[in-house]
Structure 1
Amino acid sequence: MSAPYPTSSGELPFDAPGAGKPCKTWYTTIGDLSSTPQKPVLIGIHGGPGSGHDYLLGLADVYAQRGVPVLLYDQIGCGHSTHLREKAGDASFWTVDLFLQELENLVAHLGLHDRGFHLLGQSWGGMLVCEYASRRPKGLRRVVMSGAPASMPLYKQACQLRLAEMPGDVAASLAECDRKGDHESEAFKKAAAVFMKNFVCRLEDIPEPLQRTFGNVKEDSTAYNTMQGHAEFETIGTLKDWEGWRYAHQIEVPTLLLNGKYDEVMDFVMEPFFRVINKVRWVTLPNSSHVSMWEDRERYMQLVGDFLEGA
């Protein structure tokens, strides 16, 4: 990524329990960490599972405008990190705890417990943030959960409501494909694309980093299929019963909740977080759906920047 500010990348070993082979986590930094020791680092945690860091590159705005260094990484199973296609369907391997261990490994390796850090998690990344922040790690300053379900059963309800908003022929096609267990046909892909267009990204021209994100899941859907399912609206994987709001009251740091008016993560799916987290603010962006950081980039980055600066 060419940019008028310093960037670097690296990788570190990650001892993934049960992987059966050496693993690594790839990461990139925006801003020179050594030259800005006074500012906590913002760690961006991508969705999916399996989406990769690419679509979070817009967080470079936070560095450009506020001088807050940004750290992005590809979670195990996608992007530049170790892939484990041989673990397809292995619910004992693809667990929330696996990704929490990977995040902790990254934070500890870069010395961020002592320096201080913020977390911004989008979608599934926000679910990880909820889990990690509820453990009250040393050095955590502020938390942003963007388009993050507080409850996967509520998310499933929201998807059914969103499906009901779609044209009848599209909803019927999806229902028929689902009945047949057909998730590879052109009919399914065409109908699923309509859902994505309405409730994931409403932009006419999909930004190139977001295209790469969609490509990451397509290229290796091992973690996504195991934990989520075969589509955004089909939550049948191991995350289907996740209820993060039940322990979100343990999050002690200031927290910002963000979602879009047309988000697949509808307001009632985030509301439990708002009820139980003590120091919390919630903003629903009126002109966006699930990827507000692209659909309403200027407003999104302003909200995040102001929040990280304590405004």
Structure 2
Amino acid sequence: MSTPTLPQLEGTVAFNVKDAGEPCETWYKVIGNLHDSKHRPLVALHGGPGVTHVYLEILSDLTKAHGIPLVLYDQLGNGNSTHLREKDKSHGGESFWTEQLFLDELDNLLEHLKIKDDYDLIGHSWGGMLGSGHAASQPKGLKHLILLSTPADMGLWVDAQNLLRTKLPQDVQDVLDKHEKDGTTDSDEYAAAVGVFYARHLCTLAEWPTPVVDALRSIEVDGTVYNTMNGPSEFYITGPLKSWTMLDEAKNISVPTLLLNGRYDEAQDSVVAPFFNSIPLVKWVTFAESSHMSHFEERERFMQVVGDFLVKG
């Protein structure tokens, strides 16, 4: 018996951005029945910053299993939303691409979809950083928060990446060091060395799922946001995100929160632990055979853990 096709709705919402220089829109997709379900919608925040929603569509497993409506969207500057390539690092982009910009975009989308009074949130990596900031403001409609492979502090993140980096083959470390010193991180040799790191700590599957490949490729298509806010790679951070932290604000997250990471994750235990130590209502699960993409690497268990948290509490 075939699985019934889930209803899907795509659209855009106008997003008024000061200093953008042009009208902006946020593209979104809803999978499931947004306003005709016994479960509140789950809003998914993709990582990067600078990838797209496509690698989070797998969360529709939760829609199939429990009827949870899923809201996906491409953050400004990415995917199907408005691109602003002129807002790059050399043209004042560091003051334009801010966490507050993306927090405002999320609020705008929740308002447009008429779900701001009752919703759950899942954020992956940078999306979790964004989600934690949103949750710390204690919006009245947020009921559950899921932080997937999310650092609580970028200083701790860099420390963790540097430690993982020392475990790479020496020749790979040498290539990374050379190109970062010479300012040639856009070279193919550097990209190949970064690929060795990613195969260990971003996605351990022998063949990367197409949605993961497509999401990461979006940075190659338009790297404005990623390169401006973050920098050349996950462990060589030169943008303003290098000083991002939730160490003082995490205690303000008042909703039940689920922390998730993988044993081999870029988001090592050391970068997740401050959330666990600060958030009053929190549960932490580490996936033993996963890195940064546990929703693909251990798909069945991942969906069970998340589904139980959202449905059973």
TM range (shorter): over 0.9
- Residue matched to 1:194: 196
Give runs of aligned pairs for residues 239-258 of structure 1, distance below 5 A. 239-258=241-260
Secondary structure at the counterpart of residue 201 of structure 1: coil
Q: Counterpart of 2:97?
A: 94
SS in 2 for 1:183: coil
Q: Which AA in structure 2 matches 1:91?
A: E
Give 2:290's match in structure 1, choosing from 282, 288, 291. 288
- State how far apart, in whole Å, the 2-side matches of 1:184 and 1:82 are: 25
Map of 1:120-269 to 2, 5 A cutoff?
120-269=122-271
* Counterpart residue number, 2:110: 107
> Offset of 1:35 from its aligned partner?
2.4
Give the aligned residue type for 1:15: N
Q: Secondary structure at the match of 2:239?
A: coil
Deviation at 1:3, TM superposition (A): 7.3
CA distance in structure 1 between the aligned counterparts of 2:238 and 2:253, rounded to whole angstroms: 28
CA distance in 1, matches of 2:192, 2:143: 43
Aligned CA distance change for structure 1 residues 96 and 62 (closer, same or farther; 3 Å)? same
**Partners of 1:262 and 1:288 within 8 A in 2:** yes
8 Å Cα contact 1:17/1:93 also seen in 2: no
Tell me the distance in 1 between the aligned counterparts of 2:18 and 2:298.
Answer: 39
CA distance in 2, matches of 1:192, 1:16: 34
Assess if the C-alpha contact under 8 Å between 1:17 and 1:98 holds in 2. no
2:59 alignment partner in structure 1: 59
Residue 17 of structure 1: CA displacement? Answer: 2.0
Give the distance between the partners of 1:235 and 1:308, measured in 2 at CA. Answer: 34
Instruction: Give the letter for the 1:40 counterpart.
Output: R
1:22 corresponds to which residue?
A: 23
Report the 3-state secondary structure (helix = DSSP H, G, I; strand = E; otherwise coil) of the residue aligned with 1:57.
helix
How far apart are the structure 2 equivalents of 1:68 and 1:113? 16
**C-alpha root-mean-square deviation of aligned residues, in Å?**
1.1
CA distance in 2, matches of 1:295, 1:218: 24
Whole-angstrom CA distance in 2 between matches of 1:30 and 1:42: 10
1:73 aligns with 2:73: yes
Q: Which runs of 4+ in 1 moved over 3 A?
A: none
Aligned to 1:8: 9
Instruction: String of CA shifts for 1:12-67, please: whole Å, max 9, x gaps.
Output: 1001221111000000011021322x321000000001111000011000100111
- Whichever residue aligns with residue 245 of structure 2, its letter is E
- Report if aligned partners of 1:26, 1:74 keep a CA contact under 8 Å in 2: yes
State the identity as a percent: 44
The Cα offsets for residues 221-272 of structure 1, whole Å up to 9 and x where unpaired, read as: 1010111111111111111011113101111100000000000111001100
User: Could you tell me how far apart the structure 1 residues matched to 2:220 and 2:4 are?
Assistant: 28
Post-superposition offset of 1:7: 1.0
**Aligned AA for 2:96?**
F
Paired residue secondary structure (1:10): strand
Contact preservation (8 Å) 1:121, 1:129? yes
- TM-score, normalization: structure 1? 0.97
Return the alpha-carbon distance in structure 2 between the equivalents of residues 35 and 264 of structure 1.
38
Partner of 1:34: helix, strand, or coil? coil
CA distance in 2, matches of 1:3, 1:203: 29
**Equivalences for 1:26-41 in 2 at 5 Å?**
26-36=27-37, 38-41=38-41
Distance 1:85 1:40 in 2: 36
Partner of 1:301: 303
2: distance between equivalents of 1:149 and 1:264? 9
Residue 243 of structure 1 aligns to a residue whose secondary structure is coil
SS at match of 2:151: coil
Distance between the aligned counterparts of 1:244 and 1:9, measured in 2? Answer: 33
